[in-house]
Amino acid sequence: MNKFIRYAAALVAATTLSAPALAADAKSLDELLQMIQSQKLSESKEYNAREAAFNRDKNKQAAALKSAEAEKAAEERRSDRLEATIRDNDAKLATLREQRDKRLGSLKELFGHLTGAAGDVRERINTSIVSAQYPGRSEFLGDLIAKMSSDTKLPSIEEIERLWYETQREMVESGRVTKFTTTVLQADGQQVEKEVVRVGSYNLMSNGDYLDYNAEKGLVSELARQPSAHQGGAADLQKATSGYTKVGVDPTGPLGGSLLAALINAPTLVERWHYGGIVGYVISAIFVVAIALAIWRFVVLTGITSKVSAQLKSGTANDNNPLGRILKVAEANPGLDAESLELKLHEAVLKERPAIESGLNLLKIISMVAPLLGLLGTVTGMIITFQMITLFGAGDPKAMAGGISQALITTVLGLVVAIPTVLMHTLVNGKAQSVLHILEEQSAGIVAGSVEGR
C-alpha cells in the first residue's frame, strides 16, 4: 500500500508544480486527494487573477491602439495640409523667380560671367607667389561667388569693383620686380624674417637663394637644393637698386615652376660620378695613373729630346744622353768593319729603346681597358635594374629610366678615360719615336761614314 502511495505521488509530481511537496507530506490516498483538491482551488484563484490582469492589459492596449490610429489620422491630415502648402509655395517661388529674372534682365548673364571670372581669379591668386607679399587677397571671392549664385542675395558694387581691382593688381604685379620682408623657413628648419625679392610671378629669392611658396600653408621656404649656376645672379639682384641685372628666372613659375624643379633635381657631375659605383671608382683611379704616367713620360722625353738636340750641335760625345752614348760606342770601336760597327750601334740603340719607350705600353693598355671596364659597369648596372623590374614591375617608367641612366654612367667614364689616354699616348709616343729616329739616323750616318772612309 505504501508503495502504491509513493507511486501515485510520483505520478502526480509529473503533472503538478507543487506535487513533490504534497507527496512528501501525504501519508494516505485520502490525504493525497484532499491535498490535490485544495491545490486545484488555489490554482483556480490564481488563474482567475491572471485572466483579470490580462483582460485589463488588453483593454489598455486597445485604448492605446485607438489613440495611435487617431494620431495617425491627424498627422495624415496635417501632411496633406503641408503638401498643399508646399505646392502653393512652389508656385509662389516660380512666380517670384520669374519676376526676379525679369527685373534682373542682363544682370543674370553678367553674374554668370562674374562667377566664372571670380573662380578663375581665386584659383590664380591662391597659387600665385604674389600672395606671399599680399596674403588673404582671395578670401572675399568665396562670399562674392556665393552671393552671385544665391537667390536671395546680391553682390555690392564695392565687391564687384574689388574683383576687378584684384585682377588688375595680379596683372601689374606679375611684371614687377620688388622687395618685401616676410618669414622664411630655412633649410635647417628655423623661421627667420628676411628681405625677399619677387621677380614678377616667376620666382622668389633671398640672399642669393631661390625660395618656394606653399600656397596651401602660405609659407615661404628655401629650396633644399639650389641651382648653383644661377645663385650669383640672384645675389646681384638682391643688391641692385636700379638698372638691369642678369639673373636666372624660371618661365614656368606661374604654372608651378617645373623647369626650376627639374634643374635643381638634376644630379651634379660629382653625383653622377658616384653613380658609377665601385667600377666607376676603379676607372677614375686608372685615369689618375694614366695622367701621372703621361706627364712623367712627357717630362722625361722632353729632357731627353733637349739633350739629344744639344748633342747634335756638339762635337764631343757626352754620355748624359742616348745619342752621346751611341757616339761613345762608335768612338770605342774605330777599327771595326762596317758590318760589325753597324751591329754594335744597333745593339746600343736597342739598349736605349726600353728607357725611351718606358710606360708607353701601359698607357696603351689603359686606353683599351677603360672602355671595357665601363662596359662591365653598365652590364652589372643593367642586371640590377632588370632585377628591380622583376620584383616591382615596370609601372614607373621614370624609375626604370633612372636606373638605366645610372648604369650607363660607367660607359661614359670609360670613354672619358680612354679618349684622353689615347691622345696622351699618341703625344708621348711621338716624342719617343722622334728620339729613336734620331738615334737610328745617326747610327746609319756613322756606318755610312765608316764605309766611305775605308
Residue 398: how many CA atoms within 13 Å on its side-chain side? 0
pTM of the model: 0.57
Which of 47-56, 197-206, 256-265: highest mean pLDDT?
197-206
- The rounded distance, in Å, linking the Cα atoms of 388 and 403 is 9
pLDDT of residue 150: 77
Cell for 27? 501519508
Which of 112-121, 299-308, 382-391: highest mean pLDDT?
299-308
- The rounded distance, in Å, linking the Cα atoms of 87 and 92 is 9
51-64 pLDDT tens trace: 888 888 888 888 88
Locate the domains of the chain by residue range: 2-76, 106-174, 176-252, 277-453
- The rounded distance, in Å, linking the Cα atoms of 60 and 100 is 58
82-134 pLDDT tens trace: 999 999 998 888 888 777 777 666 667 777 788 888 889 898 888 889 988 88
Which residue type, as a one-letter code, is found at position 136?
G
Tell me which of 101 and 329 has the higher pLDDT.
Answer: 329
- The rounded distance, in Å, linking the Cα atoms of 349 and 441 is 11
Q: Is the predicted pLDDT of residue 17 greater than 60, yes or no?
A: no
Q: Is the predicted pLDDT of residue 11 greater than 50, yes or no?
A: no
Q: Is the predicted pLDDT of residue 151 greater than 80, yes or no?
A: no
Please state, rounded to an integer, the average pLDDT across all residues of the chain: 83
pLDDT of residue 5: 45
Tell me which of 385 and 9 has the higher pLDDT.
Answer: 385
Contact 280, 409 (CB under 8 A): yes
Mean pLDDT of 179-188: 89
